[in-house]
């Protein structure tokens, strides 16, 4: 069950992300376009909410659920990024940060799998 405190943290981070991005884009471009700050605000809301849920799960001793959430997020974000950057590198449009991103996400995915297998209640 989601606690109201977790939801409040998510809303606070989402609103702060929206406002900071809106102000930054206005000063950078001189025009107000609400689409980009809304996406950033939603990202901050989701990140703040999931971060507070994962923190609560770790405090309650349910590390395996928190590790599954971490792995799911890394797979959702990492697999498309790895596929796109690998395609770019293979077609000759490569940058060093793309190569570093591929290795970083591969490491995070492997780390998430390792954490799940080493969680309490798992026999290896």
Over residues 72-121, the pLDDT tens digits come to 988 988 899 899 999 999 999 888 988 998 999 999 999 989 988 887 66
SS3 for 24-81 is HHHHHHCCCCCHHHHHHHHHHHHHHHHHHHHHHHHHCCCHHHHHHHHHHHHHHHHHHH
pTM over 0.85: no
> Which of 38-42, 55-59, 109-113 has maximum average pLDDT?
109-113
Euclidean distance between CA atoms 74 and 4, whole angstroms: 26
**Encoding tokens for residue 73?**
């997020």
Note whether 14 and 48 are within 8 A (CB): yes
């Amino acid at each position: 069950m989601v606690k109201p405190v977790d939801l409040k943290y998510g809303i606070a981070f989402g609103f702060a992300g929206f406002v900071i991005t809106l102000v930054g884009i206005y000063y950078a471009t001189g025009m107000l376009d609400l689409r980009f700050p809304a996406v950033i605000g939603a990202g901050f809301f989701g990140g703040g909410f999931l971060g507070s849920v994962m923190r609560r799960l770790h405090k309650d001793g349910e590390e395996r659920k928190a590790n599954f959430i971490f792995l799911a997020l890394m797979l959702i974000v990492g697999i498309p990024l790895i596929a796109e950057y690998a395609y770019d590198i293979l077609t000759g449009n490569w940058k060093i940060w793309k190569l570093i991103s591929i290795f970083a996400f591969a490491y995070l995915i492997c780390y998430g799998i390792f954490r799940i297998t080493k969680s309490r209640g798992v026999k290896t």
